[in-house]
Amino acid sequence: MRDEVRMSPEIIVSNAVSRSFGSFTAIDKVSLTVREGQFITIVGPSGCGKSTLLQILAGLVAPSDGEVQIDGERLNGPRPDKIGMVFQEPLLLPWKTAAENVEFPLLLRHVAANQRRERSLTLLDLVGLAGSVDKYPHQLSGGMKQRVAIARGLVQNPRIVLMDEPFAALDEQTRSRMWGELLRIWERTHATILFVTHGLLEAIYLADTVLVMGTNPGRIIAHIDVPLPRPRTYDMIGSVEAGQLRNHIWELVASGQ
Amino acid sequence: MSVFGRQMRWVRRTIIALLCIALWELAFRVGLLNPIIFGAPSLVAQAAMSDGLQFLQAFQVTLVEIALAALIACVGGVVCGVLLGAIPIAAITATPILSGIIAIPLVILYPVFVVWFGIGPPSKVVYGAAIAFFPIVLTTMLGVRSVDPSFALMAAAMGAPRWRVLVSVMVPLALPAMIAGLRIGLAFIIISVVQGEMVASYDGLGFWISYHRTIFNTGHVYLGIILTLILAGALNEILSRLERRYSGWHVQTQPSL
């Protein structure tokens, strides 16, 4: 663990959180502690409850058992002021411009129009879309749409950002460019990020810690600290260290099925 | 399309219409068409000028009946459809019931409507509204249900309460499907109102057409037909404008051919 986060306060604590749907246990007694400023990625086989776990931490799904604390407060529902969210699909509203989409969470909180615009311009600039403020989603490429979605997730200046396979629908080149962008944004905002992915190299490249989940029932089977130094560079993906780590995680994922 | 292109289209259409009318009149003048069966433009014009523009009265009656029936069916149908679409269990229960009702030829109930609401306009309004209501409810409901539920999750994560998710996200996304439903509903209303007037009434375009047919006033009959077509065309134009205004993004997001 990096020195600056080792001492930082615990921002997300989940205590033996379980969630079942009927007789199916999606998540079984997941306990985890995330410190402020950490970048955590979550990997695991399909159906291991990664998305469900993220939705529980977002307050979108109530746990059947156990509890989640955000900043020491029990989580009882969505907390858009503290938690930003980015999904696999951009989910932009097609009749709104890029800026209006970014402003949507602020509109819900009745923030004044000029303040909204100021915030959305700042965020679109941060994600590298200063030139596409007034474009509609159908005028943007897949990568640009996902950047707008990231800007929307960050617009309330949340201390936690939950990302559910945000780059899964992008092509390889765009995806690797987005990794660099995301790490840059993370360093600028000092947010705590939980990032669900299927890509093991993506998980290693981005994270301080990789959480490996197993299935049937969904549970965390390993915490792996990534020893790669920061700032990360693209060539680290090809390093022997990263390769060995990937093989190790791959074996864990395979054993967790 | 440019303004110039749109004007050109109207010029083309007017020329085609005038040509058709001229051919029709020519065929009558040279004795090719029996005026009792096929009428003629000059006979239609004579019919329009006779009896002190009496046709305007019939036109107005039908127009008001259609407008009232459309208002009741659209407002009622959209509100019911959205509410049903918002509650999964209600939608699942309602779908077979609505499909069943739509399969009933409601014309069998028209005599009952005449007994209940009299031979005047109210029975036509109720009949037209009843026929259009159910398809509008069904298409609106299915439209709301067919929206990707991830959008609702996104809006909830951004802090939108349930009603706001429905009003600001789900309904606008369902708008293209809803307008398709309104199109079907309005077509049904025109058919049923005019047909209702033909079967039992003392005024309106349907009555005008069937009454003058029995006394071989062929010019009057064709005048009534043309007025009904104008009404249908105008309603269609209003809908097309609504569609462009409120769900233009839908057309834009479709792949261009």
B257 confidence band (pLDDT: 50, 70, 90) = very low
Helix axes A98-108 and A113-126, enclosed angle (nearest 10): 130
CB nearest A94 (choices: B153, B154, B249): B249
Write out pLDDT tens, residues B198-220.
998 999 999 999 999 999 889 89
Instruction: Please judge whether A87 and B153 are an interchain contact, meaning their C-beta atoms are less than 8 angstroms apart.
Output: yes
Q: pLDDT tens digits, residue range A74-92?
A: 999 999 999 999 999 999 9
- Express each pLDDT in B65-87 by its tens digit: 999 999 999 999 999 999 999 99
C-alpha torsion sign, points B187, B190, B194, B197 = positive
C-alpha span between A225 and A241 (Å, rounded): 12
Q: Strand pairing partners for B106? A: none
Name residues whose C-beta falls within 8 Å of residue B218's C-beta, 6 or more positions apart in sequence. B35, B36, B37, B38, B39, B43, B212
B191-209 b/e with 16+ CB inside 10 Å = b? Answer: bbbbbbbbbbbebbbbbbb
State the nearest Cα–Cα gap between B179 and chain A, in angstroms. Answer: 16
ipTM of the complex: 0.89
- Where do we find the tokens 């007789």? A23
Whether the CA torsion B65, B67, B68, B71 is positive or negative: it is positive
Q: Is pLDDT at B256 greater than 50 in this prediction?
A: no
Chain A, residues 107-126, CB within 8 A of chain B, namely 108-109
What residue of A is the nearest CA neighbor of B249?
A: A95
Q: Which residues does chain B have within 8 Å of residue A141's beta carbon, measured at their own beta carbons?
A: none
- The answer to whether the Cβ–Cβ distance between A58 and B157 falls below 8 Å is yes
Of B77, B70, B59, whose CA–CA distance to B235 is shortest?
A: B70
Q: What DSSP element (H or E) covers A68?
A: strand A65-70
Q: What is the mean pLDDT of residues B110-117?
A: 94
Residue B150 has pLDDT above 70, yes or no: yes
Whether the pLDDT of residue A257 is over 80: the answer is: no
Q: What is the mean pLDDT of residues B101-127?
A: 93
| Cβ count within 10 A of residue B17 | 10
In chain A, domain spans:
3-82+159-255, 91-157
Contacts of A54 in chain B (CB under 8 A): none
Q: Answer whether A136 sits within 8 Å of B250, measured CB to CB.
A: no
Q: Does B169 touch chain A (CB under 8 A)?
A: yes
Contacts of B252 in chain A (CB under 8 A): 94, 136, 138
B98 or B33, greater pLDDT: B98
Distance of CA A239 to CAs A149, A204, A245, A252, Å?
31, 11, 10, 20
CA distance B104 to B123: 18
Q: Report strand pairing: A83-86 vs A160-164.
A: parallel
3-state DSSP call for residue B123?
helix
Which helix (H) or strand (E) is A35 found in, with range?
Answer: strand A24-35
Confidence of residue B254 (pLDDT cuts 50, 70, 90): low
- Strands A192-196 and A39-43, how do they pair? parallel
CA distance B69 to A39: 60
Residue of B nearest to A136 (CA): B249
Question: What is the per-residue pLDDT for B1?
Answer: 53
Q: Does B163 touch chain A (CB under 8 A)?
A: no
Alpha-carbon distance values, A191 to A39, A50, B53 (Å): 8, 20, 76
Whether pLDDT at B63 is above 70:
yes
Please tell me the predicted confidence (pLDDT) of residue B252. Answer: 59
Name which of A110-119, A181-190, A204-213 the model is least confident about.
A181-190
- In the stretch 148-177 of chain A, residues with CB closer than 8 A to chain B read 152
The answer to whether A172 and A140 have CB atoms below 8 angstroms apart is: no
Kindly tell me the burial class for residue A247, based on how many C-beta atoms sit within 10 Å of its own C-beta (0-12, 13-18, 19 or more): exposed
* pLDDT above 70 (res B64): yes
Name chain B contacts of A108, Cβ cutoff 8 Å. Answer: 155, 158-160, 164
pLDDT band at B241; cut points 50, 70, 90? confident
Q: Which CATH architecture has domain A3-82+159-255?
A: 3-Layer(aba) Sandwich (3.40)
Determine the average pLDDT of the residues in B159-176: 92
A93 part of contact set with chain B, CB < 8 Å: yes
**With pLDDT > 70 as the criterion, what percentage of chain A qualifies?**
97
Q: How far is CA B188 from CA A121, B78, B119, B236, B245, in A?
A: 48, 16, 20, 12, 23
Q: What is the pLDDT of residues B116-125, one digit of tens each?
A: 999 999 999 9
B160 close to A (CB below 8 A): yes
pLDDT for A192 equals: 95
Mean pLDDT computed over every residue of chain A? 91
Flag if A94 and B253 touch (Cβ within 8 Å): yes
Tokens of A194: 């939980």
Mind spelling out the 3-state secondary structure of B131-199? Answer: HHHHHHHHHHHHHHHCCCHHHHHHHHHCCCCHHHHHHHHHHHHHHHHHHHHHHHHHHHHHHHHHHHHHH
Nearest CA in chain B to A78: B157
Write out pLDDT tens, residues B5-62. Answer: 778 888 999 999 999 999 999 999 998 888 888 888 988 888 888 877 888 999 999 9
CA distance B79 to chain A (A): 22
Residue A196: strand pairing partners: A42, A164
Phi first, then psi: give them for residue B185, nearest 5 degrees: -60, -45
**B250 inside 8 A of chain A by CB:** yes
Least confident of A53-62, A118-127, A168-177, B142-151: A168-177
Q: Any CB–CB contact under 8 A between A228 and chain B?
A: no
For chains A and B, count residue pairs whose Cβ atoms are closer than 8 Å.
54
Q: Give dist(CA B177, CA B164) in Å, integer.
A: 20
CB A198: neighbour CB atoms within 10 A? 14
pTM confidence score: 0.82
> CA triplet A48, A49, A50: central angle to 5 degrees?
100
Task: Calculate mean pLDDT across residues A8-24.
Answer: 90
| Subunit contact B148:A91, Cβ cutoff 8 A | yes
Residues of B whose CB is below 8 A from A87 = 150, 153-154
Q: Picking from A202-206, A236-240, B2-6, B224-228, which range would have the lowest pLDDT averaged per residue?
A: B2-6
| Torsion angle in degrees (nearest 10) through CA of B102, B108, B114, B119 | 100
Taking each helix axis from N to C end, the angle separating B218-253 and B171-199, rounded to the nearest 10 degrees, works out to 170
> How confident is the model over A129-133, as a mean pLDDT?
92
A55 CB within 8 Å of a chain B CB: yes
